Amino acid sequence: MGDVVSTHLDDARRQHIAEKTEKILREFLQFYEDQYGVALFNSMRHEIEGTGLPQEQLLWRKVPLDERIIFSGNLFQYQEDSKKWRNRFSLVPHNYGLVLYENKVAYERQVPPRAVINSAGYKVLTSLDQYLELVGNSLPGGPGIPEDSKVEGPAFTDAIRMYRQAKELYGTWEMLCGNEVQILSNLVMEELGPELKAELAPRLRGKLQERQRQWIQISDSTYRLVYEQVKVLFEETLSKLQRARPAMEATIRTDMDQIITSKEHLASKIRAFILPKAEVCVRNHVQPYIPSILEALMVPTSQGFTEVRDVFFKEVTDMNLNVINEGGIDKLGEYMEKLSQLAYHPLKMQGCYDKMEPLRLDGLQQRFDVSSTSVFKQRAQILMREQMDNAVYTFETLLHQELGKGPTREELCKSIQRILERVLKKYDYDSSTVRKRFFREALLQIAIPFLLKKLAPTCKSELPRFQELIFEDFAKFLLVENTYEEVVLQTVMKDILQAVKEAAVQRKHNLYRDSVVLHNSDPNLHLLAEGAPIDWGQEYNDSGSSGGDSPSPVAPEGSTLSEKRRRAKQVMSVVQDEEAGLPLEEGSEPSLASPDSVTEIRGLLSQELQAESPLLNGALAQDSPQPEAVPEMPLPPGSPPQHLPPGKAVDLEPPNATNQETGEQVSSPSSRTPIHTTTEDSSGVQTEF
DSSP string, 145-191: PPTT-SSHHHHHHHHHHHHHHHTT--S--TT--S-HHHHHHHHHHHH
**Rounded mean pLDDT, 90-118:** 85
Domain assignment of residue 106, yes or no: no
* Residue 609 binned pLDDT confidence (cut-offs 50, 70, 90): very low
Q: How many domains does the chain have?
A: 1
Q: How far apart are CA 3 and CA 202, in angstroms?
A: 10
Burial grade of 570 (CB within 10 A; 0-12, 13-18, 19 or more): exposed
Dist CA 98 CA 440 (whole Å): 34
pLDDT tier for residue 654 given thresholds of 50, 70 and 90: very low
Three-class DSSP category at 8: coil
Percent of the chain, pLDDT > 70? 69
Evaluate if residue 616 carries a pLDDT over 60. no
User: Are 619 and 606 contacting, i.e. CB atoms less than 8 angstroms apart?
Assistant: yes
Does some domain include residue 444?
yes
**Angle CA 589–591–597, to nearest 5:** 130
- What integer is the mean pLDDT of 573-584? 32
Residue 366 pLDDT > 70: yes
What lies within 8 Å, CB to CB, of 356 at 6+ separation is 300, 301, 304, 376, 377, 380, 381
- Rounded average pLDDT over 44-68: 75
Give pLDDT tens digits for 302-344: 999 999 999 999 999 999 988 888 766 777 888 888 898 899 8
Three-state secondary-structure class, residue 73: strand
Residue 379 lies in a domain: yes
Would residue 425 count as lying in a domain? Answer: yes
300, pLDDT greater than 80: yes
> Is residue 72 assigned to a domain?
no
Q: If pLDDT is split at 50, 70 and 90, which confidence band does 443 have?
A: very high
pLDDT band at 170 (very low <50, low <70, confident <90, very high): confident
Which of the two residues, 488 and 53, has the higher pLDDT score? 488
Give the Cα separation of 109 and 116 in Å (integer).
17
Residue 561 in any domain: the answer is: no
Tell which wins on pLDDT, 290 or 117: 290
Kindly state whether residue 112 falls inside one of the protein's structural domains: no
Smallest CA-to-CA distance from 613 within 419, 414, 436, 485 is with: 436
Residue 384 has pLDDT above 90, yes or no: yes
Residue 558: predicted pLDDT: 40
Give the pLDDT band of residue 416 (cuts 50, 70, 90). very high
- The pLDDT tens digits of the residues spanning 488-502 come to 999 999 999 999 999
Domain limits for position 482:
285-506
Tell me the pLDDT tens digit for each residue of 193-211: 888 888 888 888 888 878 8
pLDDT at 559 over 70: no
At residue 444, does pLDDT exceed 90? yes
Residue closest to 379 by CA, chosen among 297, 310, 456 = 297
**Cβ pair 269, 61 in contact under 8 A:** no
Predicted confidence at residue 624, as pLDDT, reads: 34
- What's the confidence (pLDDT) of residue 480? 95
Q: What is the enclosing helix (H) or strand (E) of 610?
A: helix 599-612
For the cut 90, the answer to whether the pLDDT of residue 79 exceeds it is: no
pLDDT of residue 283: 94
- Is it the case that residue 413 has pLDDT exceeding 70? yes
Residue 170 lies in a domain: no
CA distances from 321 to 84, 313, 384, 532 (A): 49, 12, 26, 29
- Who's near 285: CB < 8 A, 6+ residues apart? 450, 454
CA distances from 244 to 183, 249, 384, 422, 443 (A): 24, 9, 39, 48, 36
Q: Answer whether residue 583 shows pLDDT above 60.
A: no
674 pLDDT band (50/70/90 cuts)?
A: very low
Q: For the chain, what is the mean pLDDT? A: 75
Does pTM surpass 0.75? no
Per-residue pLDDT at 499: 93
What mean pLDDT do residues 138-160 have? 68
Mind giving me the DSSP string for 530-570?
Answer: TSPPP-HHHHHTTTTTSTT-SPPSS--TT--HHHHHHT---
pLDDT of 397 strictly over 60: yes
User: For 105-110, what is the mean pLDDT?
Assistant: 89
pLDDT at site 673: 35
Residue 57 pLDDT class (50, 70, 90 cuts)? confident
pLDDT at 97: 77
pLDDT tens track for 250-279: 999 999 999 999 999 999 999 999 999 999
Interval 429-452 mean pLDDT: 93
pLDDT of 8: 64
Residue 383 has pLDDT above 90, yes or no: yes
What confidence category does residue 6 fall into, taking pLDDT thresholds of 50, 70 and 90?
low
The mean pLDDT value for 425-435 works out to 93
Interval 502-529: pLDDT, tens: 988 887 788 888 766 665 556 667 666 6
pLDDT band at 128 (very low <50, low <70, confident <90, very high): low
pLDDT band at 53 (very low <50, low <70, confident <90, very high): low
pLDDT of residue 649: 33
